[in-house]
Amino acid sequence: MPLPLAGPAVPVVDSHCHLDFPDFDGERDDLIARARAAGVGRMVTICTKLAEEPQVRAIAEAHDGVFYAAGVHPMSVADQPAVTVADLVALAAHPKFVGIGETGLDYHYTADSAEAQRRSLRVHIGAARQTDLPLIIHARDADDDMARILTEEHRAAPYRCVMHCFSSGAGLAQAALDLGFYLSMSGIATFPRSTELREIFAAAPVDRILVETDAPYLAPPPHRGRRNEPAFVTRTAATGAELFGMSYADFAAQTSANFDRLFSKAAA
């Protein structure tokens, strides 16, 4: 696969990363500089435990083009204080706070807290509705419950949403798209064995696709097995461009426009 052109002529957005994680201690400024040099114009860094929100907020405040979102990750629901709609709405007053989550369901590692996860998910949906900020969904081994809850809640009152790091089945992808939601492509889509996942993305409307790293996780080749970082989102975007039969520049522009439509507070 040809390497994308680097630099600001073809800016792309890393719509989901974790810049506060200790993997990046001592080099965040350099990390963000490398991303900018690679052509990553903006990043959204995600807080997964509300106790850590001040640190995540500080990173966004310190860097132009870095925004943040916060919620309680489903794998942390059992050992974190229960979040309320009011908690999340209060955080959303910050000018760089652009999304609710990540939230969702993870039955792979934490099925024992499934009921608490479902309650937490509905709280986050309520906050997304009240703030009109996009909901950021993590889904693993919970496709049926995820599709059911997202659909029930959307029928009750609409909200906006992205299926972050989408790697679930075609059924959940279609359910999300039917609700007007977005699918985010991570490094998983670049892995050689991810043929079925690439087919799911290729069948989706290109105006509903975002790209992300989920850094420090899921580095695409040739960095697979090592720490991921926002600069590497260009590798995922190159795969996306190939899937949709577009030039890298056109795909980067399309996914950036998609990001602006969904994360409209970041665009403003």
Residue ranges of the binding site for a divalent metal cation: 16, 18, 102, 138, 164, 214
CB 17 within 8 A of CB 230: yes
43 burial via Cβ count (<10 Å: 0-12, 13-18, 19+):
buried
Both tokens of 206, joined, read 């290109």
Residues tagged in the binding site annotation: 16, 18, 102, 138, 164, 214
Give the span between the Cα atoms of 82 and 86, in whole angstroms. 12
What are the backbone dihedrals phi and psi of residue 13, each rounded to the nearest 5 degrees, phi first? -110, 130
